[in-house]
Amino acid sequence: MKNSGDSRRFEPRWRWAEFALVFGSLCGLIVGAASWFYTRGYILYYGDAQAHLNISRSILDSRTPGYDQLGTVWLPALHVLCLPLVGNPRLWSSGLAGTIPVAICFVAGGVFFYYAAREAYRSALAAAPIVLACFALNPNILYLASIPMTEIVFFAGLAALLFALLRFQRTQNGGLLVLGVLASWFMSLTRYDGWFLIPFAALMFAWFTKRRKIAVFIAFGALATLAPLYWMAHNWWETSNPLDFYNGPYSAAAIQGNHTYPGYHDWGLAIEYYAAAAKLCAGSALIVLGAVGFFCAAYRKALASMLFLLFTPVFYVWSVHSSKLPVRPPTLWPHDYYNTRYGTALIPLAAFAVGAIVLVLGPRARRIAPLLVLLAIAPWLLHPSRENWISWRESQKNSVARRMWTEQAASYFAGHYQRGTGILAPFGDVTGIFCRARIPIAELIHEGNGPMWMLATSRPDLYHPAAWAVAQQNDFVSRALNKTPVSYLTVQTIHAHEAPVLQIYTRQHR
């Protein structure tokens, strides 16, 4: 009796120690990784990372600040998460205003992922640490967790939803349905993958519940759908088109235009190209171990969690096939780097599947557990160069020209610009110049400023409130300035390899 009482008394302490170990390990890992990437200047290599920060900053810092600056194409969760920090010029300029909230999401998602594995593999205590290690030690994950991008933010919601599903299956606690809805909202306001997962999450909750299955399906589905409905209402409010994010002028469909690419309306190529990107992101060893684990899970009839995690990679294959979203890994024609980071969606699935190997091995698992982790991360241990981290390599290769002209233009403005004189510039990659130079976005006139922008670009010869203008060759601003009687003169031209010429103009005084 005494031993039984002691075990009950110390069990809560063990649970807190377990949580502290998982939480502390994740914090230490991401602090080390983010510091490494930050000190080498990699935080804002992705153009999208810079753009996410600028959108968030413009909500606070703009000639027309406020809600309208959220835009319509990119979902708002990351931009809102950055708001508490992005007002600080140093954190904005360095990218840390985005690194910190994304790193927090990495830790939160990792904790949920660990406890989801504990729920799935309750009889195999070694499974959860292996699952977490296979995921968190991947350098592509660590890079994306250190920069202001949405993949890891989405993962935090996905892991929370997976945990809610698996714990609900065992406990039937209604509070887990609430957690599932909140996680679904978070995902749906981070990436459009979340919209795709709503009916499958509703089906799984209904499948797991022991009573009123139809009511649970309808209730979860209806509540979770409120997030997509909100975003469509937002698009309608901003543009009068509730589907502007899908078919508007800044949507992926508009950017791709009529250009075709491998996998578009071809299921075989869509699968091949996405699988190649996933292999580069996850590593061959983890994919092989994940495949073995998948069959182990099927043997032990524990496939539910893996089937749910499979839906996100399926969404990307479908998007390549049908939604004008190309994925171009360097191992396949045309041998360049584009959207390869989407392959990271396979990593949670593969990592979770490795835990099923432990489930089958039983008591012998503790001896083989470290070996499974070493095998999973073997590609990164054998070839530790960052050149092999496809997410970093993509950001580095595609940003060479942008980083060059951003640096030169920022240096020019730092030496010539006087606050209050104003700059006419498009809100896109060019805005990174002013982030680098720590010039407030309120100094700019851009697309988000409504009538002021339309007047300044339609008749710059008559209405020219900005003393400066910045444009890339043949973009909207350059065409507007070139089609009217001369009101702005080019004072600086910056050439970068394989990039449009950047031009800096100053207004003539008459």
Helix (H) or strand (E) holding 489: strand 488-494
pLDDT of 46 > 80? The answer is yes
Evaluate whether 262 touches 333 at the Cβ level (below 8 Å).
yes
Kind of pairing between the strands at 502-507 and 468-472: antiparallel
**Alpha-carbon span 466 to 425, nearest angstrom:** 10
What's the pLDDT tens digit per position in 282-318?
999 999 999 999 999 999 888 999 999 999 999 999 9
Structure tokens at 386: 């960052």
Structure tokens at 495: 């050439």
CB count, 10 Å around CB of 34?
Answer: 22
502 three-state secondary structure: strand
What's the pLDDT tens digit per position in 366-394?
778 889 999 999 999 999 999 999 999 99
Angle at 216 between CA 310 and CA 78, to 5 degrees: 50
What is the pTM assigned to this prediction?
0.95
Segment 330-359 shows an average pLDDT of 96
* pLDDT attached to residue 79: 98
Evaluate whether 262 touches 326 at the Cβ level (below 8 Å).
yes
* pLDDT attached to residue 4: 45
**Alpha-carbon span 486 to 507, nearest angstrom:** 9
What's the pLDDT tens digit per position in 218-232?
999 999 999 999 999
Cα 138 from chain centre: 16
pLDDT of 192 > 60? The answer is yes
Q: Where are the domains of the chain?
A: 400-507
What's the pLDDT tens digit per position in 455-477?
999 888 888 899 999 999 999 99
* pLDDT attached to residue 11: 67
**Alpha-carbon span 181 to 175, nearest angstrom:** 10
508 three-state secondary structure: coil
> Integer distance in angstroms from the first to the last C-alpha of the chain?
97
3-state SS of 83-141?
HHHHCCHHHHHHCHHHHHHHHHHHHHHHHHHHHHHHHHCCCCCCHHHHHHHHHHCCHHH
Structure tokens at 432: 């990174």
pLDDT of 406 > 50? The answer is yes
* pLDDT attached to residue 257: 85
Average pLDDT value over all residues in the chain: 94
- Helix runs in 193-283, H state only: 193-208, 213-224, 226-239, 244-247, 252-256, 267-282
